[in-house]
Structure 1
């Protein structure tokens, strides 16, 4: 396992990345503003369950296959973009037909959890990020690399849950008054739809070279900063 000094350095580097809002934070904040604290927090949980998939893929070498194949990278990228665009269209329709409840019922929260999960899993930049970032803090002399990647990934996820959860709580608190008005909620739904469409378009038109995609992840991310 990496020594304590390396783990401390990794934690500091992780926090420095997480506090810079990226597409995942935009997604989380949009959910929180439009539908409240629970919507934002379950989205955070879904996104970071997706991060666990990416960490496992990095540890098993699956992400390396994605990085090596421009075709696979592009397919996953467009699937993720299409999903975000679909979410945006659905939100726009919700805004036209009447806003969703300010605090969604359990069934809706479950759906939001899985939406966050899918958005992150279908973000190939997150996979490439973990593949490029985590091994920098692994030490071959300290034992097998795969368990070290998993440990580092879990540290990232724990810190990401805290950081993204704070964004969700802050956004929800600031938007609390707006959600009390049905008209304001409809406008928030329309705004949310536009944001999701923008995220989908940004994902679709991102650069094509897989090797160039080791940029920031879904949480603080690129949907992910997270």
Structure 2
């Protein structure tokens, strides 16, 4: 079992990493602005719970096996990239009128949750992160390495959900303000869509060191 000092240190590092700009937090913020706080929380829950699988795979050593296979890594990477580009395009082409309470179709919390957890699990960078990051905090004197990694994984999941939820709720309040400006929603969707598609292309071109 990790000691208290390690737990606090890991939690602080996890919070900093969670708030670092990336496709996950960008998606949460976008949903918060366009569809409100409930949508943002659904996205935050999806991305956070997706890390349960990554934690489990890291503990069992499966992530290392998968990442060592060029073919499997490439397939997962391209699937994740394609999914990010798809979400980005859907966001880019979405009409900002959704901000103004029109009948424009919006995603249900369930759909947002599924999109989020899928995007998280298809991102090989997350698996690589768990392989590289969690073991750095494991100490031989603290017992089972697998148990320690499981604890750290749980802490990371909780920190991610807390940070994403805070950012999503804040974005929801900003979205309430944007509802008064008809063109703001469309512009925001265009910007978010371009960023998501760019991140998707970046993932497609990503190569392991």
TM-score (norm. length: structure 2): 0.87
For 1:216, the equivalent position in structure 2 comes to none
Q: Say whether the 8 Å CA contact 1:36–1:102 is kept in structure 2.
A: no
Corresponding residue of 1:39: 39
**Mapped partners of 1:43, 1:166: distance in 2:** 12
Deviates more, 1:197-206 or 1:163-172: 197-206
Hey, what does 1:9 align to over in structure 2?
A: 9
Assess if the C-alpha contact under 8 Å between 1:77 and 1:124 holds in 2.
yes
Partner of 1:178: 178
Is the 8 Å Cα contact of residues 41 and 168 (structure 2) preserved in structure 1? yes
Gaps of 5+ in 1: 213-226
Query: Aligned runs of 1:141-160 on 2, under 5 Å?
Result: 141-160=141-160
Matched, 1:164 2:127: no
Call closer, same or farther: CA 1:16–1:88 in 2, change over 3 Å: closer
In structure 1, what is the equivalent of residue 86 of structure 2? Answer: 86
For residues 109-150 of structure 1, give each alpha carbon's deviation from its aligned partner in whole angstroms, at most 9, with x where no partner exists.
100001000111001010111111111112233322212111
Gapped runs of 5+ residues in structure 2? none
CA separation of 1:18/1:86 partners in 2, compared to 1, >3 Å: closer, same or farther? closer
Q: Deviations over 1:133-192 (max 9, x none)?
A: 111112233322212111111011111111111111112212322134554434433333
- 8 Å CA contact retained: 2:29, 2:168: yes
Structure with greater proportional helix content: 2
For the aligned residue pairs, the C-alpha RMSD in angstroms reads: 2.4
Q: State TM-score, norm by structure 1.
A: 0.81
Q: What are the within-5 Å matches in structure 2 for residues 1-226 of structure 1? A: 1-95=1-95, 99-100=97-98, 108-181=108-181, 183-206=183-206, 208-209=207-208, 212=209
Counterpart CA distance in 2 for 1:34 and 1:123 is: 24
Residue 176 of structure 2 aligns to a residue whose secondary structure is coil
